[in-house]
């Protein structure tokens, strides 16, 4: 598993375990090679300790965080844990409903985290938390112009994914189903189409409920998976984090191993010839 990322180096040119291990299987994202294809969100954990144990068990190197007003009473912070583990904190613009808010939040994040990477989220409504395509594209354009490395949380519309890619996003991160719904991948066909036409990495973000969802995402050809609720709110977050890690690795390996085709009828694996005639 990827060695701990060297925490002294500034966020910008952190030594990538992928590169350091010369990992031909490395996960290419944002012009760097990472050792783990699982990106974990820090939202929803019952405690920082539970979050820390789960992050370690997940093997994730990229961990998402948000920005909120300072709470003077808060004890400890997600960022301290992430820095302590030598992981890469990827800020998001969760909670933004307009391009303007998202751009501002990204600028704040650049100050707060000293990185120009941003998980861009621009939401359309608070029941589905689906992305607002128009605002998302607008925000992406502006942030790319300002030199951000933009990783947009998008829906599973292949056309929007292509527009985001053409605008210069570093990846496209289509949802499988609503954030925190645990419904897995509702439309695997669209995800496949996005994967087919993508010239940037595709990371399935949102809706993963259980490891088989994560494995399916990788088997469909996604380059990585981003999940949070399915681990944070599991009965045993640490054990679920480990399961997700194995699922992403298994799915990726399966994709490269080349599965057998699906058929309606059977094809026995035991030879028929040489069957004894037992009277």
Active-site annotation holds for 119: yes
Minimum CB distance to another protein smaller for 33 or for 247 = 247
Residue 251 C-beta: closest distance to another protein, Å: 13
- Packed helices 158-167 and 188-197: angle between N→C axes, nearest 10 degrees: 30
Minimum CB distance to another protein smaller for 39 or for 161 = 39
Sign of the dihedral through C-alpha 169, 171, 174, 179: negative
Contacts of 142 (CB under 8 A, 6+ apart): 99, 103
Residue 188 C-beta: closest distance to another protein, Å: 12
Minimum CB distance to another protein smaller for 199 or for 277 = 277
Residue 202 C-beta: closest distance to another protein, Å: 19
Minimum CB distance to another protein smaller for 24 or for 73 = 73
Cα–Cα distance for residue pair 227/42, rounded to 1 Å: 9
Binding site residues, another protein, CB under 8 A: 41-45, 48, 51, 64-74, 77-80, 83, 89, 91-92, 94, 104, 107-114, 179-180, 228-229, 258-279
Contact 239, 231 (CB under 8 A): no
Going across the sheet that includes 173-174, the strands are 117-120, 149-154, 173-174
Tell me the two tokens of residue 209: 């409920």
Residue 162 C-beta: closest distance to another protein, Å: 25
Residue 151 C-beta: closest distance to another protein, Å: 14
Residue 46 C-beta: closest distance to another protein, Å: 10
In angstroms and rounded to an integer, the radius of gyration of the C-alpha atoms of the chain is 20
Minimum CB distance to another protein smaller for 76 or for 159 = 76
Cα–Cα distance for residue pair 125/129, rounded to 1 Å: 5
Segment (H or E) for 111: helix 99-113
Cα–Cα distance for residue pair 46/260, rounded to 1 Å: 42
Minimum CB distance to another protein smaller for 1 or for 19 = 1
Angstrom distances, CA of residue 93 to CA of 70, 106, 107, 140, 202: 16, 7, 10, 12, 19
End-to-end CA distance of the chain: 57
Catalytic site residues?
119
């Amino acid at each position: 598993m990827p060695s701990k990322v060297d925490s002294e180096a500034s966020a910008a040119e952190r030594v990538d375990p992928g590169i350091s291990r010369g990992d031909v299987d490395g996960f290419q994202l944002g012009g760097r090679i990472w050792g783990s294809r699982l990106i974990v969100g820090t939202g929803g954990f019952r405690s920082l300790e539970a979050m820390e144990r789960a992050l370690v068990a997940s093997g994730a190197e990229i961990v998402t965080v948000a920005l909120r007003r300072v709470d003077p009473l808060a004890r400890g912070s997600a960022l301290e844990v992430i820095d302590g583990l030598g992981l890469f904190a990827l800020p998001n613009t969760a909670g933004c409903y307009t391009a303007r808010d998202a751009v501002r939040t990204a600028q704040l994040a650049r100050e707060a985290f000293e990185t120009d990477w941003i998980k861009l989220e621009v939401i359309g409504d608070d029941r589905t938390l689906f992305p607002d395509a128009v605002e998302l594209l607008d925000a992406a354009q502006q942030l790319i112009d300002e030199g951000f490395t933009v990783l947009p949380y998008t829906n599973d519309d292949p056309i929007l994914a292509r527009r985001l890619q053409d605008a210069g996003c570093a990846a496209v991160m289509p949802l499988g189903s609503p954030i925190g719904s645990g419904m897995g991948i509702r439309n695997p066909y669209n995800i496949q189409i996005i994967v087919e036409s993508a010239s940037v990495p595709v990371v399935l973000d949102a809706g993963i409920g259980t490891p088989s969802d994560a494995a399916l995402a990788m088997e469909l050809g996604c380059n990585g998976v981003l999940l949070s609720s399915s681990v944070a709110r599991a009965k045993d977050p640490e054990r679920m984090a480990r399961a997700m890690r194995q699922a992403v690795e298994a799915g990726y390996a399966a994709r490269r191993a080349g599965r057998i085709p699906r058929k309606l009828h059977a094809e026995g694996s035991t030879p028929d010839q040489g069957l004894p005639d037992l009277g």
